[in-house]
Amino acid sequence: MKRCSWVPLHNPLYIQYHDEEWGVPVHDDRKLFAMLILEGAQAGLSWATILKKRAHYQKVFA
């Protein structure tokens, strides 16, 4: 699979995010809200940090 240049190939979380989620349209309101929360939490942090914590966010907002 061809990947964007911003994907660090040494990080499996980035690879999975890119391959399974990046650029895929989302129409579910709950999923869109979850994405909004993660984007807000990312302010000042690396996206890798947010991807690592995503399971915790999903548990809290379930």
- Rounded distance, CA 48 to CA 29, Å? 24
- Rounded distance, CA 48 to CA 12, Å? 10
Q: Which residues are marked as active site?
A: 17, 39, 47
Contacts 24+ apart (CB under 8 A), 1-10: none
